[in-house]
Structure 1
Amino acid sequence: MGSAKRWVPMTDIFHYHKPVSEQQWSRQNASARPYARIAHLKPDQVASYVFYHYQYQEEKPGDGDKYGMIALHENLMFFYSEDPATIEKPSYSGKLSTSHTPPDWAGTMEPHFIPWDSSDGNSRIWLEIPLVIRA
């Protein structure tokens, strides 16, 4: 019987911004509170989810929290952001000059998820991760 894993490698599949220098990436708001949440993607929808997010990040760089990002391990999706969000216009352009990101983002994303069962009988897409350590 193997032991439970505490850490797994995750692949960066989405970010609102990317670091371009140490100075540009340093945090200016020391009071910003980190938060994270997880979701399960339907295994047959992972490629679609990654495709849409790549399209979004390259068509609309800087469209959210500077430090906001999504990582993936198998079909477990991890989202990280900070509150309040740091909103900045990036100093770079995205790799796509198209505008195909769906306008109904939530409606496009919803079919990608496996809802979590909750104790009150409702299902949820997102599970908040409690903040345990703040460095």
Structure 2
Amino acid sequence: MNRNIYRCHYRGQLKNNFAGQELDETLDKCRKNAERMIAEGRLMTAALYYHGGMLFLYFEAVGEEVRTEEFMEPMHGLLEKWPEKSGLSDWARMYQVFYHAIPESEEDWRRPVSPECRRGRIAYLKEENMFEYVYHHVAIIKEGLLAGDKYQSIALHEDILFSYFEEPKTLINVQRDLSRESKAIKAWLDVVPEDHFVPLRGSKGENFLFLPAYFALGQ
């Protein structure tokens, strides 16, 4: 039986840029929890990236949704709390605004070989252009013709974008038809993408900054 795939993105914040042995030991517990859930077939991928005290979590749940606490609970005392609609939370949900493929089934989404690299990046959007960015990327998804990495996903929280993708890339588009050219990407390029981003130190002139990972795991 093929099961659904749920792609999840969350943002966290360490208390006072928490670091040291306690953080290392806590992250090791989270990593082992994720490894166990991958072995059990409940997760397909789990990756945690950081930028200073900011944390960016991406995972793929198999069959049913997985709560962050099920494998990230050891981080509970180390994280600032986010005021959410349902109360205070360790992790703020990020909202998916871009992708190149929709998982059709567990079988469809399973990697034939493990990727060489699971990458995480962030970008800061200018507030005045933030929703124009979202508008164009939703339009590209709806058209479904722009090819890119099958496993790429970009999510938004406040004015921060978090992008996950894998290398080498598995080229695909939402329509799963590479014979046609995207017109929606031309409209995005016409409004000058660079005008939508706040330059980040260390990004070497790129819109997105690559992040180091605390762990990046998968089947």
Q: 2:212 aligned to 111, 130, 135, which one?
A: 130
Counterpart in the other structure of 2:170:
86
Going from structure 1 to structure 2, the CA distance change for 1:48 and 1:62 (only over 3 Å counts) comes to closer
Alpha-carbon distance in 2 for matches of 1:104, 1:45? 12
Going from structure 1 to structure 2, the CA distance change for 1:106 and 1:85 (only over 3 Å counts) comes to farther
Letter in 2 for 1:125: N
Letter in 2 for 1:87: L
Going from structure 1 to structure 2, the CA distance change for 1:114 and 1:106 (only over 3 Å counts) comes to farther
Q: 1:21 aligned to 105, 116, 122, which one?
A: 105
Letter in 2 for 1:35: R
Contact 2:103–2:109 (CA under 8 A) maintained in structure 1:
yes
Alpha-carbon distance in 2 for matches of 1:57, 1:90? 7
Alpha-carbon distance in 1 for matches of 2:114, 2:149? 15
Going from structure 1 to structure 2, the CA distance change for 1:128 and 1:107 (only over 3 Å counts) comes to farther
- CA deviation profile, 1:62-106 (whole Å, cap 9, x unmatched): 61000001000010001111000112465668xxxx834326739
Going from structure 1 to structure 2, the CA distance change for 1:36 and 1:45 (only over 3 Å counts) comes to same
Relative to its length, the structure with more strand (as a share) is 2
**What is the TM-score of this pair, normalised by structure 1?**
0.77
Structure with larger RCO (C-alpha < 8 A, sep 6+): 1
Counterpart in the other structure of 2:128:
44
**What is the TM-score of this pair, normalised by structure 2?**
0.50
Q: How many residues align?
A: 126
Going from structure 1 to structure 2, the CA distance change for 1:32 and 1:123 (only over 3 Å counts) comes to closer
1:59 maps to 2:143: yes
Rg larger for? 2
Cα shift at 1:30: 1.0
Question: Mind listing any 5+ residue stretches in structure 2 that lack a counterpart?
Answer: 1-14, 16-79, 82-89
Letter in 2 for 1:14: F
Relative to its length, the structure with more helix (as a share) is 2
Letter in 2 for 1:134: A
Letter in 2 for 1:17: A
Contact 2:144–2:175 (CA under 8 A) maintained in structure 1:
no
Alpha-carbon distance in 1 for matches of 2:126, 2:188? 20
Cα shift at 1:112: 0.5
Question: Mind listing any 5+ residue stretches in structure 1 that lack a counterpart?
Answer: none
